[in-house]
Amino acid sequence: MKIVFAPDKFKMCMKSATVCRVLHKAFRTVFPDAELVSVPVSDGGEGMTRALANALHGEVHTVRVTGPDGVPVQAEFALINNGLTAVFEMASASGLYLVEPLKRDPMTATTYGTGEVIRAILDLGVRDILIGLGGSATVDGGAGMAQALGYSLLDPRGREIPWGGGSLHMLSRIAIAGADPRLQETRITTACDVRNPLSGPFGAAQVFGPQKGATPDMVAKLDHNLRHLFTVWERHSMLLPKEMPGDGAAGGLGAGLRAFCGAQPKSGAQLILDAISFRSRIADADLVVTGEGRTDAQTADGKLCFAVAQAAHGAGIPVLLLSGAVEGTPEELGKTYDFIFSTSTGRRTLEEAMAAAADDLYFTAVNAARLFKHGFPS
């Protein structure tokens, strides 16, 4: 018997590799002789770098950069494809998990560190970069990243605007003379798991701002500021086509990478699965187990668990979903997954549930495995 574990991260709790270890331990107690295969995966958020490095025998590097709150952090990237391609997740430099909850402030949080990672990769001579978008602490439209790469973002008096989405309304002009010339000869691809636009009711500020610490007043200001940034890009003919799904990813970094770096967006989940030859890894499997911290309507919009399920069903393999929280009807979710379990046990606060995530996952996985044991030949 062959069982493949291919989960996403449980956001702010466990990276995908940790989820795989818990699942492996749980299923081994029930299926001591089964072939258990762990394939930690990602759709562009936390865990993408390690997932690709492990699957493709890449070399992981660390670099000290500016964190989202200005405090230095150790970010990491990996070199794959014999060192010709670099991959990193922007959350490693500008992620929400890098800032303590009470100190999160999307008005001042910056993607400057993401730009510094790009610069470090360029210094190594690499001209093909894959950047995962997701898990950001920022809503600055990639302005900080651009400043780290030599762009000057100037107010009406010719002064550099401060870091953070709260300062974007001050932007009057973008000076490109100092931009790193190596960007012109570099291919940058973004792996994105959301299709949100830059601004508006489904934009970066409105949808994701609150989880980054934005109050309703901040959300309104950030949304206005992103709209203003967009008009400046248009005035400088920097963003063509004008609007694309995913521009709102990572606080507008999706649009910023297109405008400042000519990046090309792709589906994060599908890109990662193709890169690691996922379909060949699940060949002849009897069951694929996937999971994430929360399953809701966004999951069926191209996110990782959905992509994993599609690939498994294409090979005639049933799929088990283990999710920290499940939102939706059995009829809706049953179109994607054969078996669905929420790992939440007991009534807890969000903080308590996150702290107990690994134990809850183990508990649920053992019980799910016991059920499956009766359906599989020994």
Given this model, what pLDDT does residue 264 score?
Answer: 94
Domains of the chain: 2-40+285-373 (3.40.50.10350), 48-269 (3.90.1510.10)
> Which residues touch 24 (CB under 8 Å, ≥6 apart)?
5, 36, 38
* Interval 257-269: pLDDT, tens: 999 999 999 888 8
C-alpha–C-alpha distance, residues 7 and 26, integer Å:
14
Least confident of 6-10, 43-47, 92-96, 116-120: 43-47
**Average of per-residue pLDDT values in the chain:** 92
Higher pLDDT, 242 or 204: 204
**CB within 8 Å of 331: residues ≥ 6 apart:** none
Query: What is the model's pLDDT at position 349?
Result: 80
Q: What's the pLDDT at 72?
A: 98
d(CA 93, CA 91): 5
pLDDT digits (tens, 9 = 90+) for 13-40: 888 889 999 999 999 999 999 999 999 8
As a whole number of angstroms, the distance between CA 137 and CA 35 comes to: 39
Q: What is the mean pLDDT of residues 271-299?
A: 88
Give the mean pLDDT of 150-162. 98
User: pTM for the whole thing?
Assistant: 0.84
3-state secondary structure of 279: helix
Does the pLDDT at position 95 exceed 60? yes
302 pLDDT band (50/70/90 cuts)? low
Q: In the chain, what is the greatest distance between 2 CA atoms, to the nearest angstrom?
A: 76
φ/ψ of residue 14, rounded to 5: -140, 135
Neighbour-count burial for 213-236, b at 16+ CB within 10 Å, e otherwise: bbeeebbebbbebbbbbbebbeee
